[in-house]
Structure 1
């Protein structure tokens, strides 16, 4: 599974220093979205809770779909984010709603080379909403497996706003004339021996004890397929089985009780494997446990952070070499610290590329710089850092370190590298400087 990072900002610092110095730049924060996503408007029909005593709302929703990988291969898992910028519905009551009581869920419609729906869900997170005021913007995420090469379009679909305050209430909003306009398009390519098993859920959230419909495709005909809940990277005790038909399709239902559930998977065999499994598809079990008399329910929220990096310095003095001998001009990269506090499924990649080293009327080619990367993972981090391969950096670049995609990723990491610049024997005497740019995405 490949990962191209997602996010909203990129920071680069550059410095040049003489005395045979290597100047280092560092890219920080999140890369820009992989695809050319755009806000779209579409007519929406929303039904307020019956207790509100008001008629349906016909309005306009503004939304945007973004992905973490706009050029996946068949078999890859793509993370989709559905952001409702301006909901069509408002708080249906005159009662002010406190912060963090909204749990959104919805669907993203696929079209073009691959069709179907992607279930998405968001955290219980919102700013306070005044009585009868518009609902604030919110985001929902989900994943799908690419099964077909070609252009795949993504359009906003129906969404639901669940509120947990005094009563458990839903405000479902449907696209009046589906499909809504296309907000994002990705281009998928073929891959050798891909796992194209894929699943879809009938809904993205429910109360404890509710059943969700699970459908899927491209399983082994006649195989017994296990449906299971996931809590992060761990399987919960909620399981069921179904059998793939002659075409490899599955259809079954799974009852979910575990309130820590984050998704649903389906797999062949005795336990989950990437080769014989599909998912996870995003699912949230809403905690609707009634509060006993003379008791108080305490709730906290964990807010997602960002992907960022910092470095111990921005210049490196490489060792000097002698005219007529040349050879390795060596030094150590300033330590880079990567913090991944997003709490989502995406890994990250830290890459570097270098310019030519320029000096007094001459230059040393960028391809003369090589490195030997090293990476350490802070204890307790969900992800494990992997050092890039030793070798040439050059102007085309190389990977310094990375972490893989997963159900739940994140952590803190320190990245180092031994640097070596191969200086030609009769390079004119003087100071030579190049710029190494590090990009985190």
Structure 2
């Protein structure tokens, strides 16, 4: 799902949004399948995969003073997070908990309490890759000679830089002891990476069009000029300032150039008696991404009212762009182990309402995470859809379904309406979905999260 560019040096939030792109993100959770003959069960809400303990082969090297060879054993560990559904830019605190270390006290000497300091690495994969350094406190119960090392936990924090499914796997760790002498017992994953212990699902942080305009006065007679002040536009760019009558521009229009800070001041002459607002935008035509307004403006009709008459005036107030969905869980059909094939279903219907009264259309896009389950994962690129949409009678715009094809983690368009002189209306959007399940996928429920964004 796309985001607007944030320009440096823009003004505080109270002055940011005369208008701009709005986004709604909805998680249609539980695009799930059961690889087997049983019926499919999806979760009630879309949630990231829960953490789970994993076992992995480990090679630990005791301190040379111990005089013993490396230990090839098994580590049991689990990774948990403080935020399983972050947005891009959020910090996520990760806890790497080793419940059963592969190493033990290599010497006959008992170790007292609080002399062990663990450190380690967490492998980050999926939509974002890297290695996170984690560390634990110097805290432990007494360890008898040649006794097993006790469980320990290490924490670290990383910043989410990409939207999608992000996996966390335990990595190498080291046990440092400070008693009589400083000793290390490093333990490495024998066949990296270790199994995934936790998966988080990150969503994009909605961008903001911070361009804004303000008017020197809210009304005037036909032919009078109104002072229009703009902020947070692109520096040294041409900006069109125009009158708006409902969703259509009037002939009252002029072009100004912004200063080095992205600001401008214009004196727009308003002749049209039907003018209800003023807009400003970069480019050859109105765009919600690069425009601001409409700022309300009323032309005071000074035409004399005939005797024994009354002049009546009615106002139409602009609304918003919004969407709702009929539910947040989708059940796909089951497939048989060994055969694989298409797990199919229908998206929950989405209703889009465009009551802005402007010239901008809208676009509804979606992208999906990998499907995770007891046997591993099914790649996001295996999910495809055939979109459909219908336009309610009387709507000025006409809904256009997206193309049939792959959804994947990169995303695809579910439906849209074009820009026009007058746009708006109510629209019903849905899609047939199909997940291509590889043959011999281990039985179990596999769940992915489809995120929809309306712009």
When the two structures are superposed, what TM-score results if normalisation uses the length of structure 2? 0.47
Relative contact order, higher structure (CA 8 A, sep 6+): 2
TM-score by length of 1: 0.48
Larger radius of gyration: 2
